[in-house]
Amino acid sequence: MKCIDFDKAFSLFAMKWFKDHAKEYKNYDAMEAAMPEVYDKFLDTPADFLAGAKPGEYFRQWDDAKALIDWMEDYFKQKVPVPDMLLNRITELGEPAEKRLYNLLQKERTPQEARMTAVSLLGEMSSTLPMQLYISWQLNRQYDDELCDAACEALAQMGEEAIDPMLAFLDDANDAGKEALCSVLSYYPDTSGKVLPELLRLIRKPDANVAVLAGYLGRLGEEGALETLIDLALDEDLTYLNYIELRSAIEQLGGDAPEREFDESDPDYEAMQSLQMSWPKDNETPDNGDYLQ
């Protein structure tokens, strides 16, 4: 099917609208504020480029989930902006669209943006159908992987139903996958006894993302993490921002963080100092004696 550029069509509509109604707007800000209203008018106005159909109703002519999702994929392949109206129509179709979106996720040659959108749409539909697929993606993932990150966020949205399946595969995941799964599991009590030891191992790795992992440990709420967190907070090579996150996690767990002093030799500390210096003087700023210890 033809991939119509609705963004371009709206731009032309808006230009004509503001030209025809120029006297109603005092300045550019007023025109910008009116943009949502103009967009609603665009959606509700019969369009010549749609043979008289209204843009807001155009995709409601179709109820074939496969055809609509294939159409969405074509938009991505042709690098034409995907209309929100098409995405909305897909989610309206419910279960048939859910199954087709799940099939699309498994097509590795599908454009990454299309698969990301499928994850998003399935999330809007509160679907748990791709749960096992999302978990499997974490097992051998890279640390930087937007699709896996989106899948992990979707697992978090699935709630407690996803806990046991994630725990079942935690041991099989690589370190990047373990960290991703633990990021979700840290929202829940560690009744399995697996999450705390895994996070403590990960945060002690030489290349650990200490700030992020400290946040997970603070959220997990296990006092058994205190010894490790305090030990890391005493590390001579610790950066200022990592210390701040470690201190926060220690305090979340009811512990007392060791006091540390930092100076301009730490790039993080220097950057934070410069940021504070740039704040307007009449704004309330943090107490330096407390914030920069």
pTM score of the predicted model: 0.86
**Maximum C-alpha span of the chain:** 71
Domain membership flag for residue 237 = no
Write out the residue range of the structural domain in which residue 124 sits: 1-129
pLDDT of 173 = 98
Amino acid at 55: P
Domain membership flag for residue 152 = no
**Which residues in the chain land under pLDDT 70?**
263-293
pLDDT of 79 = 96
Judged by phi (left if over 0) then psi (alpha if -120 to 50, else beta), residue 222 lies in beta
Domain membership flag for residue 93 = yes
Domain membership flag for residue 26 = yes
Q: Give the Cβ contact number of residue 16 at 10 Å.
A: 10
Alpha carbon distance 41, 19 (integer Å): 15
Domain membership flag for residue 1 = yes
Residue 1's SS3 state is coil
Domain membership flag for residue 63 = yes
Domains held by the chain: number: 1
Domain membership flag for residue 35 = yes
pLDDT of 288 = 46
Domain membership flag for residue 279 = no
**Crossing angle for the helix pair 131-139 and 163-170, nearest 10 degrees?**
20
Place of tokens 């709206």: 10
pLDDT in tens, 168-219: 999 999 999 999 999 999 999 999 999 999 999 999 999 999 999 999 999 9
pLDDT of 275 = 59
